[in-house]
Amino acid sequence: MEQLPKMSAAELKDVVKDGKTMLFFSATWCPDCTFIKPAMPEIEADFSDFKFIAVDRDENIDLAAELNVFGIPSFIAYADGQEIGRLVNKDRKTKAEVEEFINSLATNA
């Protein structure tokens, strides 16, 4: 999974402008992030139409605030630069919950 460098929301627009992109917000100290991380390679493989990008919440704290990401792990999906969905809260997420969220995007993308 590609790692997003530190950037602003304005700079992010260039990253998500083409195709489908899924931002995965997490932090090294977050136990709920550690819980979902082992499932991420399989989720990425199952949803290969999305480009998955890891966002270190601590490194990108301003970006997280600009995007109203106040809990992690969180996911924000984009299609051709437009946000099409988000799973943003502070709750632990299971592989099934993340997959259900991504499957729900099919009607939006």
List the CATH number of the domain containing 52: 3.40.30.10
- How many structural domains does the chain have? 1
Choose the catalytic residue: 30, 36, 67, 79: 30
> What percentage of the chain reaches a pLDDT higher than 90?
91
63 pLDDT higher than 80: yes
- The pLDDT-based confidence of 91 (bands split at 50, 70, 90) is confident
Q: What is the pLDDT of residue 107?
A: 60
CA dihedral 68, 88, 62, 60 (to 10 degrees): -170
* Residue 33 is among the residues annotated as catalytic for this protein: yes
Q: What is the pLDDT of residue 89?
A: 85
> What percentage of the chain reaches a pLDDT higher than 70?
97
What are the b/e assignments for 35-49, b being 16+ CB within 10 Å?
A: ebeebbeebeeebee
Strand partners, 22: 52, 77
Distance from C-alpha of 19 to C-alpha of 57, rounded to nearest angstrom:
23
72 pLDDT higher than 60: yes
Pairing, β 50-56 against β 74-79? unpaired
pTM, to two decimals = 0.93
Choose the catalytic residue: 22, 23, 33, 43: 33
* Residue 97 is among the residues annotated as catalytic for this protein: no
What is the domain range of residue 46? 2-107
